[in-house]
Structure 1
Amino acid sequence: MQTRGRRLKLTAVLALTVLTLTGFSTGRHHSSSRHGHGSGGGGGGCSSSSQDHDTSTSSGGSSGGSSYTHRPNYRSTPTATSSATARPLKDGTAVLKRCASVADPYTTVEVRNPNGREALFTVKVAYKDRTGFTMADASSQVSVPANGKATLRMAAASTGALDRLDHCEVDRLATALS
């Protein structure tokens, strides 16, 4: 009968040790500031010769062994990675839709944004006469939605020269600013 009782006690101690080491709680809660050696009372990590294995209850005093408090809700703090940083914007495209004239002194340009976020683009237009001479240059900025397009109406650089204006040339590259 004594052998059976000792086996049960040994089994109970081993089960409690396994449960404690794997982080399961026996119903006793310890402050997270009580890590290490000392008055953990009842918890059990490593065995010590000063521990009393002959009783099934703890005296609540210093056992001389180590205690371990498992924190199942502990998560590490995430850190910023290079993938979280914004990628540089790609330049857009600009297409001339209508050149300025005496009747309507505005040039219309369609700008496309190839980026996955809204961006600001600079558009450049050259106003030329019949010989190809650039009478004036103009630039303007337009905000374009992500993967979208926007129409920009630019005032002619010099309305006095509109009677000599033959054509407009738009720089097909719309420079991304932000």
Structure 2
Amino acid sequence: MVVLALTGFSAGCGHGSRSDSSSSSGSSGRDAHDSGTSTGGSGGGTHRSQPTHSPAPTPSPSSETARPLKDGTAVLISCASPDDPYATVEIRNPNGRDAVFTVKINFKDKRGFTMIDTGDQVSVPAKDTTTYRVAMASTGRLDEIDQCEVNPRATADR
């Protein structure tokens, strides 16, 4: 009966303290608390050592080492019309990696006033060209469009 009382007392007091035998029993560097189970306490004593198996940070490309993206070019292929309510633009990526470019297009009427001014983001693969179609926002005004203007500089989003 005395043995049972000591065993019950030992398990109840294990929270917040650790015996020397349980802190030195792990061969992998992890104790019971680290693995999510509770078999001998929570490791609150000052004799607990930090795990030595922490992974080292992996080097990754940073913005300091990566070359800045060059702007691309944009060329108007066709303007929106009542027959085809899309302006078609070709965007060229001069970079050796995929990039996202902002392409600006203005839809103008016969008097030269800008009816709609857009700025769309377009993803273009490395050293490639993408054809992008821009929808005319208001199809009721398609007959008023006289010309489309595309900024020839497609700005690389950095």
Q: TM-score, normalized by length of structure 1? A: 0.52
Counterpart residue number, 1:132: 112
Residue 80 (structure 1) shift:
9.0
Residue 139 (structure 1) shift:
1.9
CA deviation vs aligned residue, 1:123-169 (integer Å, no higher than 9, x gap) = 11000011111111112111111111000011113222111110100
CA distance in 2, matches of 1:81, 1:173: 27
Of 148, 151, 154, the match for 1:171: 151
Whether 1:153 aligns to 2:133 is yes
CA deviation vs aligned residue, 1:1-20 (integer Å, no higher than 9, x gap) = xxxxxxxxxxxxxxxxxxxx
For structure 2, the residue ranges without an aligned partner over 5 or more in a row are 1-58
After TM superposition, list the pairs within 5 Å mapping 1:1-178 onto structure 2: 85-178=65-158
CA distance in 2, matches of 1:143, 1:115: 12
CA distance in 2, matches of 1:160, 1:124: 22
Aligned Cα root-mean-square deviation (Å): 2.3
CA distance in 1, matches of 2:138, 2:153: 23
For structure 1, the residue ranges without an aligned partner over 5 or more in a row are 1-78
- Percent sequence identity over matched residues? 63
CA distance in 2, matches of 1:140, 1:119: 14
Q: Which portions of structure 1, spanning 4 or more consecutive aligned residues, are displaced by more than 3 angstroms?
A: 79-82
Residue 131 to residue 146, structure 1, CA distance change in 2 (3 Å) = same
CA distance in 2, matches of 1:81, 1:114: 20
Q: TM-score, normalized by length of structure 2? A: 0.58
Larger Rg: 1
Which of 1 and 2 has higher RCO (CA within 8 Å, sep 6+)?
2
CA distance in 2, matches of 1:80, 1:127: 43
